[in-house]
């Protein structure tokens, strides 16, 4: 397929590379320097999102936040300027479910189709093409673009209509944040009590407390490898979406609010650019004790 890819950051670059490696014709736009991995392919850099859209049949966006997606889609030189009947916009960013419904309606009014398809799996999953992809949109359109999604991920689910993919991603981020907080609390508690946190983690991996978070992020916490796979600042944004949605729906999310505050502690201490496993640092600061 002729595919446009807008947003070549930590996640977007390897995702676009997987599409190129799968043989798709790529047209790309990014705010910063074109990544070397993409420059080494036949991908064609474009001046703006409108140019990307005019060349491509399917346009994928992978951007940090709701305002970024809105600007790229509908701002000057945006995707909307290049849209025509039959084209498909796939937004793989993690943004507001309510805003997504509005974006989808605007794109459809221009004769094109829209799929929201946020992902989970981090940089590791993006590089390995093993992302979990949560989709919202029309089933026929989803089936049409499924080969593209399969080049980037493994667990791909059409949840429902437009916005439902983003709602699923918000739910995912709630679960991930609370699990990171739980692992952080457990390891800080064990370490301050005098136990070796590495051996505690090893023991817990064989029991009911075992989880992917304990396996991957627990190891990051112990080894102090907080280089970003998924930044605290981005997870803060996702929890903000959860809490905003909770207010609108009249739902209480007390544990989510607590995890958001722990991330705020990290952000207030210049750690927003670290991996979200660095949430453990907030608890370490409060305990006056580092793992080790």
- Do 72 and 79 meet the contact criterion of CB atoms below 8 Å apart? yes
Catalytic residue among 29, 87, 127, 169: 169
- Do 118 and 159 meet the contact criterion of CB atoms below 8 Å apart? no
Strand, helix or coil for residue 83: coil
Contacts of 256 (CB under 8 A, 6+ apart): 174, 177, 178, 239, 242, 243, 246
Q: Strands of 14-65 (E only): list them.
A: 25-29, 44-45, 58-61
Q: What gap in Å lies between CA 263 and CA 278, rounded to an integer? A: 9
Strands 131-136 and 119-120 turn out to be: antiparallel
DSSP 288: T
Q: Count H helices and E strands in the chain, helices first.
A: 13, 9
- Do 201 and 235 meet the contact criterion of CB atoms below 8 Å apart? no
* Per-residue tokens: 247: 């207010």
- 24: closest CA among 34, 38, 11, 8? 38
- 100: closest CA among 230, 232, 245, 231? 245
Catalytic site includes residue 101: no
What sign has the CA pseudo-torsion 81, 82, 87, 91?
negative
Q: What gap in Å lies between CA 8 and CA 14, rounded to an integer? A: 8
Catalytic residue positions, numbered = 169
């Amino acid at each position: 397929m002729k595919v446009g890819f807008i947003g070549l950051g930590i996640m977007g670059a390897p995702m676009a590379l997987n599409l190129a490696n799968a043989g798709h014709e790529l047209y790309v736009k990014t705010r910063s320097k074109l990544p070397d991995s993409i420059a080494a392919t036949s991908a064609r850099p474009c001046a703006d999102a409108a140019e990307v859209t005019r060349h491509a049949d399917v346009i994928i966006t992978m951007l940090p936040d709701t305002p970024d997606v809105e600007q790229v889609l509908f701002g000057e030189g945006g995707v909307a300027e290049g849209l025509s009947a039959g084209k498909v916009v796939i937004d793989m960013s993690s943004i507001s479910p309510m805003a997504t419904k509005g974006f989808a309606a605007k794109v459809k009014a221009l004769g094109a189709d829209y799929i929201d398809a946020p992902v989970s799996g981090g940089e590791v999953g993006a590089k390995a093409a093993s992302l979990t992809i949560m989709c919202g949109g029309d089933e026929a359109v989803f089936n049409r673009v499924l080969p593209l999604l399969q080049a980037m991920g493994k667990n791909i689910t059409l949840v429902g209509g437009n916005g439902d993919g983003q709602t699923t991603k918000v739910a995912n981020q709630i679960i991930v944040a609370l699990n990171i907080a739980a692992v952080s609390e457990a390891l800080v508690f064990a370490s301050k009590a005098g136990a070796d946190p590495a051996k505690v983690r090893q023991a817990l991996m064989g029991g009911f407390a075992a989880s992917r978070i304990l396996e991957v992020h627990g190891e990051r916490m112990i080894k102090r490898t907080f280089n970003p796979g998924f930044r605290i600042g981005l997870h803060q944004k996702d929890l903000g979406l959860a809490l905003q949605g909770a207010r609108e729906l009249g739902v209480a999310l007390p544990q989510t609010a607590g995890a958001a505050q722990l991330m705020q502690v990290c952000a207030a201490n210049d750690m927003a650019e670290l991996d979200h496993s660095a949430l453990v640092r907030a608890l370490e600061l409060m305990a006056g004790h580092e793992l080790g």
